[in-house]
Structure 1
């Protein structure tokens, strides 16, 4: 809705069901919201009582405003540069949490959500938090979150900003964990994400962030589970899509009857999916009907195919992953005579493409299972390549990377370049071990083992800007590196999740 329409309709309802008004709700002096500054710089004291000027979004996609006394208010559903009213749900000494109730001036970046289940209403799905914000603006917000974290937490300012990596905004989510709930009072089965701020499963009839063929299966899945004898003991369905195979992992707390197995098989034949069954922990996951095509995804630019199991960690968004791998390797700029270490290598998402460019690669990962899978993937890909395109010698090691020491780092040998792709906890122990070696080098030149040096370049792929900023602060201020570039990656459109990439280069302090 535009500002002009607000002028012509003093009170209307927008796409999220919120009231929008061009007149003050709690003031004797009429105020035209359209005449208020657009830069978020309006003093809070100049607003009518109860009105709030939103000037930012936080990491949870909540609008951030300040009251006249300086208290911060986090507002669910509000966007920067909006003038709003809100219902306070929680109060602390220095901040409040609130929910948007009325928009007096709407952001030009506010859009109609693409999913009927998104919003602030009772029962709304909690899977997405930013569908009301235009996609390019979402990316801009995430880029700003990255820059703010690097500076405020790490005191690091990249020398260059990378262009954000973007891709399809809908139908991108190839990995998902869908909760299942038989609601006896309603006489139905629910399959989907949880309601916002609730343990209840949302009554989802569609989900446009899922691939179209999976979106079309939501209602048939509900009917399937409702017709099963085990409908009360199947709490979860995990989705894993490959390039040509869709796998569904059914968590079942009790053994399934033959009748239920027959229903699952009929569903698989009708919808072209593979059922995997999980009776207890992840190690119990098994293919219901052995044989058939293998679950995998391709990295065509490198001639790599990655088989995986549905419970293995793979990126949610395969479209972005292809671009992410390509950019990471371009920024790392590996030469044919160089050795590379891929830290937190997983099942080889970066390791195998690196093996098409380097002299030698070492992949290090905490999970023994993923290390075994990465070795299998390396062998399988090596077997399909011609002699002139063979992958370089590549080793894989299982190790707890949250307990790295300088001694362990030296024992891994000199690598010209590093690729670091940690989980949300970041790579603090690794960054600290490298920084400790640098401090040792400064205090005692020549004390490092002969032939060992810090990597010339590090590309760090992050899924948490706060831990990236912490680790970047170590590398820049104690580790002898400069942050030459950083940029956001919109791996999860419509969510507040911020994926990013940063590049570090060794300074002359190591020489």
Structure 2
């Protein structure tokens, strides 16, 4: 159903000013509602399936149009009131208007749809959805900073949904509780600095017992600036870092932050992983624990297996696997991460692991870890997936492959290779709500070699 202006060919790229009324049929992969106007698909931000909404066009393209819902005429029973004051303006959380239980169902459907359409995979066990807290879950974040004289205020927060500007916000309820409460104090403190206009972002890194803020500074702070920052660090019990250049220039403001053990998180009640504020760690530590536990349960290691962990990072999966396997090799492209993974093994007195630094998008046939036999391989690539590694996995021929993915489309693409070109069968797959209120889908799939 649709009621709106017809557009001729000559107006194809002109955004109509008149609002339209549409019936939403489905949700797209990014969480926008899907409707049709004159048989042309239109993606409507802020709308849910089975809703009738009034919307304003925001973009007109050849293949589809885009719009923003401005009024809900008939609401879905799954619609809820967003809990954030800047929802709709902020680009951080697109699905707050959808009930949290239905959010994870939507993500599960995204995974099933991708596996079916791209890989023809429909016969497998659907793992139970993994969920956690839907507020104050985010322990890693990058906050934008902008001194805006017209507002007589330094803006600290995330960027607006449709613009490059930073949202004028005072709280962020998805951030870890203490960081959530620091938005206004940070704004006030930065406003006192002589370099307020030369401080574009803050990296947030929260450990189990510490809160780190890494300030990107484009100009050297004055002595007075440093005193202001130090006072803020003490007042709020923080660890403050300054980053004048790339990540390697990150320097702690105090002795506490200089320690290699300043930041850490616990894993499975038996491991402690240390990290620097610029290292990649999962943003949601509670879900990370559930994810790692599920990985161990699915692999069902008996204690004598040899396991390969690709894209291993700091050793998040590697060290957990080492507690159950005979030996584990971790491979990662960032040397800083593999160095720290080795340190984390030492910190935890784990001796049955080794780490290699390698660019896993490049030829690996002569890599030392390629000339070994593995019982199981765990792979946790970036959003782009690991299509380059699929032939190597096929050649290594482990009994089990566990693929952890942050993008269902590239997961499906890669599993199509493993199940069509190599003798692997998809046994089970499911999703984890690592990023509540966003369309981001974290998933896990277990494959077993048919002749194993």
In the alignment, which residue of structure 2 is the partner of 1:338? 305
In the alignment, which residue of structure 1 is the partner of 2:156? 191
CA distance in 2, matches of 1:507, 1:172: 39
Answer yes or no: is the 8 Å Cα contact 1:361–1:392 preserved in 2. no
CA distance in 2, matches of 1:404, 1:135: 42
Report the CA distance between 1:432 and its aligned residue: 2.7
Answer yes or no: is the 8 Å Cα contact 1:276–1:286 preserved in 2. yes
Counterparts of residues 218-233 of structure 1 (less than 5 Å): 218-233=183-198
Is 1:111 aligned to 2:80, yes or no? yes
Counterparts of residues 202-241 of structure 1 (less than 5 Å): 202-241=167-206
Answer yes or no: is the 8 Å Cα contact 2:24–2:34 preserved in 1. yes
Is 1:150 aligned to 2:115, yes or no? yes
Q: TM-score, normalised by structure 2?
A: 0.93
Report the CA distance between 1:88 and its aligned residue: 2.0
Are residues 50 and 125 of structure 1, via their aligned partners in 2, closer, same or farther at CA, if it must alter by over 3 Å?
closer
Answer yes or no: is the 8 Å Cα contact 1:404–1:433 preserved in 2. no
Is 1:166 aligned to 2:114, yes or no? no
Report the CA distance between 1:406 and its aligned residue: 5.0
Are residues 158 and 421 of structure 1, via their aligned partners in 2, closer, same or farther at CA, if it must alter by over 3 Å?
farther
Between stretches 164-173 and 391-400, larger displacement belongs to 391-400
Answer yes or no: is the 8 Å Cα contact 1:422–1:461 preserved in 2. yes
CA distance in 2, matches of 1:270, 1:125: 29
Superposed CA deviations along residues 70-99 of structure 1, whole A, max 9, x for unmatched, are 211100111011122322222233311111
In the alignment, which residue of structure 1 is the partner of 2:381? 422
* Count of residue correspondences: 435
Structure 1's unaligned 5+ residue stretches are 1-23, 27-48, 383-390, 438-452
Partner of residue 431 from structure 1, selected from 378, 385, 390: 390
Answer yes or no: is the 8 Å Cα contact 2:375–2:400 preserved in 1. yes
Report the CA distance between 1:218 and its aligned residue: 0.7
Partner of residue 181 from structure 1, selected from 146, 157, 164: 146
Superposed CA deviations along residues 24-50 of structure 1, whole A, max 9, x for unmatched, are 988xxxxxxxxxxxxxxxxxxxxxx95
Structure 2's unaligned 5+ residue stretches are 5-18
Report the CA distance between 1:158 and its aligned residue: 4.7
Higher Cα radius of gyration: 1
What secondary structure, in the 3-state scheme, does the structure 2 residue paired with 1:102 have? strand
What secondary structure, in the 3-state scheme, does the structure 2 residue paired with 1:244 have? coil
Answer yes or no: is the 8 Å Cα contact 1:158–1:486 preserved in 2. no
Report the CA distance between 1:410 and its aligned residue: 7.7
Counterparts of residues 212-361 of structure 1 (less than 5 Å): 212-291=177-256, 294-301=262-269, 303-361=270-328
CA distance in 2, matches of 1:371, 1:156: 34
Partner of residue 495 from structure 1, selected from 400, 423, 438: 438
CA distance in 2, matches of 1:197, 1:60: 14
Are residues 359 and 185 of structure 1, via their aligned partners in 2, closer, same or farther at CA, if it must alter by over 3 Å?
same
Report the CA distance between 1:212 and its aligned residue: 1.5
CA distance in 1, matches of 2:123, 2:184: 47
Superposed CA deviations along residues 402-426 of structure 1, whole A, max 9, x for unmatched, are 1145565983411100111111111
CA distance in 2, matches of 1:116, 1:429: 43
Report the CA distance between 1:151 and its aligned residue: 1.5
Q: TM-score, normalised by structure 1?
A: 0.82
Superposed CA deviations along residues 130-181 of structure 1, whole A, max 9, x for unmatched, are 1111001110111111111112222222511001110000000000100100
Answer yes or no: is the 8 Å Cα contact 1:362–1:394 preserved in 2. yes
Are residues 459 and 191 of structure 1, via their aligned partners in 2, closer, same or farther at CA, if it must alter by over 3 Å?
same
Answer yes or no: is the 8 Å Cα contact 1:157–1:483 preserved in 2. no
What secondary structure, in the 3-state scheme, does the structure 2 residue paired with 1:232 have? helix
Answer yes or no: is the 8 Å Cα contact 1:359–1:392 preserved in 2. no
What secondary structure, in the 3-state scheme, does the structure 2 residue paired with 1:291 have? helix
What secondary structure, in the 3-state scheme, does the structure 1 residue paired with 2:165 have? coil
What secondary structure, in the 3-state scheme, does the structure 2 residue paired with 1:483 have? strand
Cα RMSD (Å) of the superposition? Answer: 1.9
What secondary structure, in the 3-state scheme, does the structure 2 residue paired with 1:140 have? helix
Are residues 94 and 254 of structure 1, via their aligned partners in 2, closer, same or farther at CA, if it must alter by over 3 Å?
closer
CA distance in 2, matches of 1:167, 1:228: 39
